[in-house]
């Protein structure tokens, strides 16, 4: 199912986004 594949890819990008934001937040007090 291509939709499911796209969803999984999006989850990876979202995780990357939130992780980056989190490390940005903790990295710069």
Interface residues with another protein (CB under 8 A)?
9-11, 13-18, 20-22, 24-25
Q: Which CB, 1 or 26, lies closer to another protein?
A: 26
Cβ at position 5, least distance to another protein in Å? 13
* Distance (Å, whole) CA 12 – CA 29: 27
Cβ at position 6, least distance to another protein in Å? 9
Please calculate the CA angle 22-12-15 and round it to the nearest 5 degrees: 15
Q: Which residue shows structure tokens 């939130």?
A: 18
* Distance (Å, whole) CA 29 – CA 4: 38
Cβ at position 9, least distance to another protein in Å? 8
């Amino acid at each position: 199912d291509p939709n499911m594949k796209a969803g999984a890819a999006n989850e990876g990008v979202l995780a990357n986004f939130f992780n980056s934001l989190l490390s940005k937040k903790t990295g710069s007090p």
